[in-house]
Amino acid sequence: MSVIGIIGGTGVYNLELDDPSEVEVETPFGKPSDSITLGKLGGRDVAFIPRHGRYHQLLPHEINYRANIYALKKMGVEQVISTCMAGSLKKEIKPGQVVIPDQTIDLTKTRDSTFFGDGVAAYVDMSEPFCSSQSKYVADTIAGMGIDVHKGGTYVCIEGPQFSTYAESDLYVMMGGDIVGMTALPEVKLAREAEMCYVSIVGISDYNVCGMTSSCMENMKGMRLLMKNMRSILSEVVLGLHVSTECSCSTALGRAIVTSGAGISSDTILKLDSILGKYEIDTSSIGVHGSILK
């Protein structure tokens, strides 16, 4: 079985694993947020990284998302479970509950959102940004634990680090948003380019819309309970996680690269080895599309 990647969001800065070991991973995109901890959770091999760093020293726009995803891919990760906190845009999505989103709206501004460029063009399909088959399994598993979970929903990702104004929250609702956070993008896009199955477990910390207030103490109580339960949630989720045969995540690059093989330098191929390594690049090809062969 493959290594399962876990990206810890707010409140999940370390994970108690069996037989843990820390690994510093170098990437062509710079340093990841922290070292990667390898070990076992629920009997499964996992690789854990805290998105904001172990001391939450990185703001959302400061996170090196490319390095984090590339490092996990380099460790043999094919499936990623991410955790994060977000605000609710709907009355029925309450603080303390969990959402497994199936769509995103990207309102970020300054983040590197692709591994490609610099001589190679790739356009991956993001119509279903989260792995649909894995998301269903994760949602059903969490529901089976007796936790209130919403299956599906649109995650609006803002730049931050400031929270939204009332006017902005109203706009997100008009756009069709269900929850709002700061870290799903570009992480989910990069995971797709790296041909990983990616699922997000989103804990709801508060209401983000004017007129749906609840006490700060109530919000914090629900959020702390979620953080406390996250290890047991992750242990249960990874137990039955398997490489899906029902999705196209693992073949996302098959028809995505349009640069002719002759136009892709050997340096670029080497730089993207962890992502392109399973493909044979026909560097003699002068025609665009289909220049990557299995």
Does 129 reside within a domain?
yes
Does 275 reside within a domain?
no
Q: What is the CATH number of the domain that holds 250?
A: 3.40.50.1580
Does 162 reside within a domain?
yes
Closest to 68 in 3D by CA, of 90, 40, 38, 47: 47
Does 224 reside within a domain?
yes
Q: So what's the pLDDT on residue 95? A: 87
Residue 4 belongs to what H/E stretch?
strand 3-8
**DSSP category for residue 262:** G
CB atoms within 10 A of CB 46: 27
Triad 99, 157, 142: Cα angle to 5°: 15
Residue 222 belongs to domain spanning: 3-256
How many domains are there within the chain? 1
Does 274 reside within a domain?
no
> Mind listing the pLDDT tens digit of every residue in the chain (294 residues)?
589 999 999 889 999 899 999 999 999 999 999 999 999 998 899 999 999 999 999 999 999 999 999 999 999 999 999 999 999 999 999 988 999 999 999 999 999 999 999 889 999 999 999 999 999 999 999 999 999 999 999 999 999 999 999 999 999 999 999 999 999 999 999 999 999 999 999 999 888 864 555 555 555 666 666 777 788 899 999 988 887 777 999 999 988 998 888 888 889 989 999 999 888 877 776 666 655 655
Does 35 reside within a domain?
yes
- Under 8 Å between Cβ of 227 and 84: no
Does 268 reside within a domain?
no
Amino acid at 88: S
What pairing do the DSSP bridges indicate for beta strands 154-158 and 103-107?
parallel
CA 261/CA 79 separation, integer angstroms = 28
CA 103/CA 204 separation, integer angstroms = 16
Question: Per DSSP, what are the bridge partners of residue 23?
Answer: 36
How many helices (H) and strands (E) would you count in the chain? 7, 13
CB atoms within 10 A of CB 125: 11
CA distances from 2 to 51, 126, 142, 149, 188 (A): 21, 24, 22, 27, 19
Q: So what's the pLDDT on residue 231? A: 80
Does 102 reside within a domain?
yes
